[in-house]
Structure 1
Amino acid sequence: MSELQKIVLAEDNSLLSSLLKFRLEKEGYKLLIADNGKKAIELIEEHKPELILTDIMMPFISGLEVISHVRYKLNMLTPIIVFSAAGQEEIVLKAFNLGATDFMSKPFSPNELVIRIKRLLR
């Protein structure tokens, strides 16, 4: 049997993290959860996930800094989906300029997220 595709989820809302972990593991993914950007970078460097999900506003290191680290320090092309409750166009554009693959504003549908993930990991 092939190994499960790994996803790092960087999200400081523990309720949302639990919900997404349940939903994505049901879909057959292995979820690694970080409750801040610093932990997210550690998980990304250690596990080399197939996909990264990150919130923008997080303790210690922001989602934007996570994207920048993945793209410019680690030189990884891993797809990155960004979430933000702050649907501010400036932040979204900054995320895309840094190398984000996709963006979803909170609150979002877990079903829509699953479809976007499947599309990226084809």
Structure 2
Amino acid sequence: MAKQRLQQVADTMQRILGEVIQTELKDPRVGFASVTNVEVSADLQHAKVYISIMGTPEERATTMAALQRARGFLRKRVAEEMRHMRFIPELHLIEDTSIDYSLHINDVIRQIQHERMVNPPRIDDEQ
């Protein structure tokens, strides 16, 4: 399948799953979660669904467990919205921690900048 077509399928799935998670899942364990990316295999058998979850580690684990339990419902909703497709990929939900990582990197940079302001590097004039 052409790469552009795979990307269209992934983008459509991302939009559908994001809407369903936000508006249709009634499980109170599902906190604030958003679909950040979908990668579809070339044979359309599998889709990695990356989900960013806000909250404490416990809240994120609870949300992820609730979403894992809802995979069948999520796949069914994708199938209903994408009726033209012969196969609907099996969903593999993966927590996207890239936002946490970028926040950590920003904190490290801020800490380094602060340390440089407090203790500026010495420049030897004798060179």
TM-score of the pair, normalised by structure 2: 0.29
Q: Answer 1 or 2: which has greater helix percent.
A: 2
Larger radius of gyration: 2
TM-score of the pair, normalised by structure 1: 0.30
